[in-house]
Amino acid sequence: MLKKNLVKILSTAIIFAVLIGIVITISGAAKAAPEKEFGETEKLLPDVIFGSKGENILPNQIETEGENEENPPKENQITEIPESIPETPKEEQSENNQPNIDKVTEESGGNSAGSGEGDVSGEGTPGEVTVVTDLENKIVTSAELSGDMFGFFAYIENKSEKHSLTINFKSSVTSFSGENLVTSDDYYETKLALGANYFTIYLEEDGKTVSSVQYIITYQAAKADSSNPDVGEGVSIVTNLDGYDEVMTNRYFTFTVSARSSGKVIYSDHIEVTLDGVVVDSPTGSSTFEYVLNFGPEDTHLVTVLAWDDEGNSAYREYEVKFKGSSDGDSIGVAYVVIDATTAGLGIIGEYEIEILQGDTAAKSLVSAADFMGLSIHYDGSTESGFYVRGVSGFGGVPEVPPELWECVLRDGLSLTGAPSGGLFAGDFTANSGWMYSINGTLYPGKGLSAYNLSDGDTLYLRYTVAEGKDIGGSGGGNGNLAGYCGIWSDGGYYELEHEYVEIDRGTDYIEYECAICEKHYTEEILPEEPEEHEHEYYEVERVEPTETEDGYVIYECECGDWYEEILPATGTGDEEDFEEGSEEDEENP
């Protein structure tokens, strides 16, 4: 009896331990990935899954536990990529002596992306028909090639007369179907185009494809540098150091970079900024990017910017900045603080010139300036971290949204709240209202006031918005029906921007247009066209010749329908009488 109880106790303990192990395993696997920070640029990746060693694997190539024994690969499926490649003995290497090769077996079949690491995708068995190549997914620059010509080898191992190889090459300059490469010695060569170049290898038996694999060679032009600052065309770089020839006093300077390729935004993953040769990481912003330059000792520093697109165009700019060092708390100049409530019908409610100290945040400068203006800044967090303006109070006047702006708000479909009371706060008028800050009137930084340090001569604008910035020149937060308002309400006035009108309706006497951005309508009246002054061009359409006794006529007509008639006098009647009378006179007076 005791023995049976011991067995039960031991069994229960074992089951309980197993269950605990399963729960721990599941909970560990279920940990959530860290959330992506707001404004982080999402990178585009190939349609493959990256393996633990960095190799590119298609979903049907991922090896699961017990797959080789219980679930062997199906026919017409590329076999799995092993985690490592057995070293090839020297005597077994190919004639080209290429250690990194891919092998595609006849049995693997199907379509696949190349491993990109030189891994073997199906090692095959002795005597098995196999395709061997040194192709791999990689980036190649123009500096590595001569005349853009790229070469590789590919051949069939253990081939028979019924086996053949077709290699299709496709790029931006080939036709949609690409072109088949030819060779006489297993070595292929073709001219690459900038961007993605696709090589697809087909193993065929009796003219039918039994397996295939594709590789992508990304061809890039050599990027711009100090000796060649512009490569290709269309890439522009604009920074807040352009034309800067003063002595820098701000040790924590925010360097702004706006790069474009033929008018399109170049994002931060295609921009590199360095300070004295060291790459500056972690930019903020969404289209204009902000990099904090932490100037060290008093000296002349070198700032560089490199921007490029995916078509081989790039630009390089460099700036020499003379920095004057100082300690935290020392004066480094003056800045201007402007508090603007134009969107609430109040215009500028306060402005002040304030001394800025080394190390002070923009939040601290704002609060200090507001005190001198007699205004109160209501905020969360602190001036050193997590600073958020909830509202401003202490001004006179009654807030009221301008009528034209209110029409935009209604078209936008924003959630309406109520009129403000006791100040101007986030959430007044609409659920999308609040305070935003701008540096020098145009830049709305992608970081908070407590993370920004003002420089000598800067102007800090604190502006009220009722539409997440659409009404003050900001980008908006993605809410509402409209992409923008085609106007800016700031500095006590309204500045209309260009509309993008498209025709939406047409009648006999009108055309109606709507702006594709703000959905504003206008109607154009169509006036009846005045007839053009017509110059007649007459053509003869009918003619009757005159006789000796009767007149004739000619009728002329214009293509517009107008016509006229010309009389042709009779010929001979009057002339004969004159002739006869003259003859009688001659006879009487010889």
pLDDT on residue 263: 92
* CA gap 486, 473 in Å, rounded: 9
> Are residues 582 and 555 both part of a single domain?
yes
- Indicate the Cα dihedral angle 421, 425, 430, 433, nearest 10°: 160
> Are residues 277 and 304 both part of a single domain?
yes
pLDDT on residue 142: 87
pLDDT on residue 221: 83
Instruction: Specify the number of domains making up the chain.
Output: 4
The CATH number given to whatever domain includes residue 265 is 2.60.40.10
> Are residues 351 and 478 both part of a single domain?
yes
* CA gap 246, 358 in Å, rounded: 17
Q: Which residue range is the domain that position 287 belongs to?
A: 230-323
* CA gap 504, 518 in Å, rounded: 14
- Three-point CA angle 12, 16, 19, nearest 5°: 140
> Are residues 143 and 236 both part of a single domain?
no
Last residue of a domain, one of 191, 220, 249: 220
Tokens 């033929």 belong to residue: 262
Nearest to 158 by CA among 131, 182, 135: 131
**Amino acid identity, position 265:** V
Coil, strand or helix at 450: helix
* CA gap 548, 276 in Å, rounded: 112
Residue 540: other Cβ atoms inside 10 A:
10
Residue 259 covered by a domain: yes
> Are residues 278 and 216 both part of a single domain?
no
Residue 97 covered by a domain: yes
For residue 308, what are the CA distances in angstroms to 113, 235, 415? 27, 7, 41
Residue 533 covered by a domain: no
Tokens 């085609």 belong to residue: 486
Q: How many CA atoms lie within 13 A of 572 on its CB side?
A: 6
> Are residues 485 and 357 both part of a single domain?
yes
For residue 211, what are the CA distances in angstroms to 159, 207, 241? 14, 12, 56
Contact 197, 216 (CB under 8 A): yes
* CA gap 208, 214 in Å, rounded: 17
Residue 167 covered by a domain: yes
3-state secondary structure 536-589: CCEEEEEEECCCCCCCEEEEEEECCCCEEEEEECCCCHHHHHHHHHHHHHHHHC
pLDDT on residue 127: 76
Residue 285 covered by a domain: yes
> Are residues 189 and 293 both part of a single domain?
no
pLDDT by 10s per residue, the chain, length 590:
434 444 444 455 444 444 444 333 333 333 333 333 323 333 322 322 222 222 322 333 323 333 333 333 333 333 233 333 333 333 333 333 333 455 555 554 445 555 543 333 335 566 789 999 999 999 898 889 999 999 999 999 999 999 999 999 999 999 999 999 999 899 999 999 988 999 999 999 999 999 999 999 998 888 999 999 999 889 999 999 999 999 999 999 999 999 999 999 999 999 999 999 999 999 999 999 999 999 988 899 999 999 999 888 999 999 999 999 899 999 999 999 999 999 999 999 999 999 999 999 999 999 999 999 999 999 999 999 999 999 999 999 999 999 999 999 999 999 999 999 899 999 999 999 999 999 999 899 999 999 999 999 999 999 999 999 999 998 777 899 999 999 999 999 999 999 999 999 999 899 999 999 999 999 999 887 777 788 889 999 999 999 888 999 999 999 888 999 999 998 875 544 444 444 444 444 44
> Are residues 477 and 544 both part of a single domain?
no
Q: Which residues of 352-389 are buried (b: 16+ CB within 10 A; e: fewer)?
A: bebebbbbbbbbbbbbbbbeebebebebeeebeeebeb
- What secondary structure letter does DSSP report for 113? B
DSSP states along 293-337? EE--SSEEEEEEEEEE-TTS-EEEEEEEEEE----TTSEEEEEEE
Residue 515 covered by a domain: no
Contact 301, 321 (CB under 8 A): yes
Q: How far apart are the first and last CA of the chain?
A: 185
> Are residues 258 and 291 both part of a single domain?
yes
pLDDT on residue 33: 35
Coil, strand or helix at 342: helix
Handedness of CA 109, 111, 112, 118 (dihedral sign): positive
**Amino acid identity, position 28:** G
> Are residues 313 and 344 both part of a single domain?
no
Tokens 């980008």 belong to residue: 475
- Please give the structure tokens belonging to residue 132: 């061997």
pLDDT on residue 311: 81
Residue 61: other Cβ atoms inside 10 A:
22
The CATH number given to whatever domain includes residue 481 is 2.170.130.30
The pTM of the whole model exceeds 0.85: no
Last residue of a domain, one of 296, 323, 350: 323
Residue 263 covered by a domain: yes
> Are residues 167 and 203 both part of a single domain?
yes
> Are residues 236 and 204 both part of a single domain?
no
3-state secondary structure 466-520: CCCCCCCCCCCCCCCCCCCCCEEEECCEEEECCCCEEEEEECCCEEEEEECCCCC
Residue 239 covered by a domain: yes
* CA gap 152, 38 in Å, rounded: 44
Exposed, middle or buried by CB within 10 Å (0-12, 13-18, 19+), for 324?
middle
- CA 417 to chain centroid, in Å, comes to 35
* CA gap 344, 339 in Å, rounded: 12
pLDDT on residue 511: 94
Last residue of a domain, one of 477, 496, 515: 496
Tokens 């005190």 belong to residue: 371
* CA gap 109, 131 in Å, rounded: 12
